[in-house]
């Protein structure tokens, strides 16, 4: 296992079908998950809301107490293609938010193409779709973006690698 930092230009995004959240008969009516390559992924993150609490009689410090945890929206950007995948996922959520939920993952690849880190998101909804900015004077690719509101991230490959570390160190 290499300890070199992973490059940020090699990654994959997977979007599972939404059938995990619906009865089988309804799941058959949904279009499959959006597919395609993405040029940019942002928003992998979370934050803990903290409130300050001044304890009476204690003047040298203030307690920091946790309130709630929230997840950033994941934004996917790609060149506009003729496949309506991202748009149809967003449109499905307008009519049936339960059926529009998708799980997925963002996978960062090492220089050799082997997955080096991965984050799985759960219960994702296509919360915002943005079409391309069009300029007749520019020779550029039309870009669309999709924001995914989700219910949590799990760092997948790190957990698997951490469990393998004790076995690796025993062999040395």
Question: Domain range holding 25?
Answer: 14-51+64-158
Q: What's the confidence (pLDDT) of residue 3?
A: 76
**In whole angstroms, how far apart are CA 166 and each of 44, 163, 170?**
28, 7, 6
Whether residue 78 is contained in a domain is answered as: yes
Whether residue 117 is contained in a domain is answered as: yes
Whether residue 165 is contained in a domain is answered as: no
Q: What's the confidence (pLDDT) of residue 18?
A: 60
Q: What's the confidence (pLDDT) of residue 150?
A: 95
Q: What are residue 91's phi and psi, to 5 degrees? A: -65, -40
The answer, as to whether pTM is greater than 0.85, is: no
Contacts of 47 (CB under 8 A, 6+ apart): 69, 70, 72
Whether residue 32 is contained in a domain is answered as: yes
User: What does each of the 172 residues of the chain score in pLDDT, given as a tens digit?
Assistant: 567 888 888 888 888 766 555 666 655 555 444 455 788 999 999 999 999 999 888 889 999 999 999 999 999 998 887 777 778 788 888 887 666 788 888 988 888 888 888 999 998 998 999 989 999 998 988 999 999 999 999 998 755 544 443 443 344 3
Looking up residue 123, the CATH number of its domain turns out to be 2.30.110.20
**Burial (CB count within 10 angstroms: exposed 0-12, middle 13-18, buried 19+), residue 89:** buried
Whether residue 21 is contained in a domain is answered as: yes
Whether residue 167 is contained in a domain is answered as: no
Q: Are 120 and 135 in contact (CB under 8 A)?
A: no
Whether residue 2 is contained in a domain is answered as: no
Whether residue 127 is contained in a domain is answered as: yes
Tally of structural domains, the chain: 1
Burial of 113-138, coded b for 16+ CB within 10 Å and e otherwise, reads eebbbbbbbbebbbbeeeeeeeeeee
């Amino acid at each position: 296992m290499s300890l070199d930092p992973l490059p940020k230009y090699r990654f994959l995004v997977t979007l599972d079908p939404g059938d995990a959240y619906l009865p089988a008969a309804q799941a058959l009516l949904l279009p499959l998950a959006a597919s395609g390559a993405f040029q940019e992924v942002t928003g992998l993150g979370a934050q803990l809301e903290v409130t300050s609490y001044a304890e009476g009689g204690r003047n040298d410090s203030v307690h920091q107490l946790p309130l709630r945890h929230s997840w950033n929206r994941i934004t996917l950007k790609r060149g506009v293609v003729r496949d309506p995948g991202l748009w149809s996922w967003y449109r499905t959520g307008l009519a049936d938010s339960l059926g529009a939920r998708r799980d997925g993952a963002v996978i960062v690849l090492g220089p050799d193409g082997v997955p080096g880190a991965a984050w799985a998101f759960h219960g994702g909804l296509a919360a915002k779709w943005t079409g391309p900015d069009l300029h007749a004077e520019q020779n550029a690719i039309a870009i669309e973006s999709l924001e995914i509101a989700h219910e949590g991230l799990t760092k997948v490959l790190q957990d698997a690698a951490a469990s393998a570390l004790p076995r690796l160190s025993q062999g040395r």
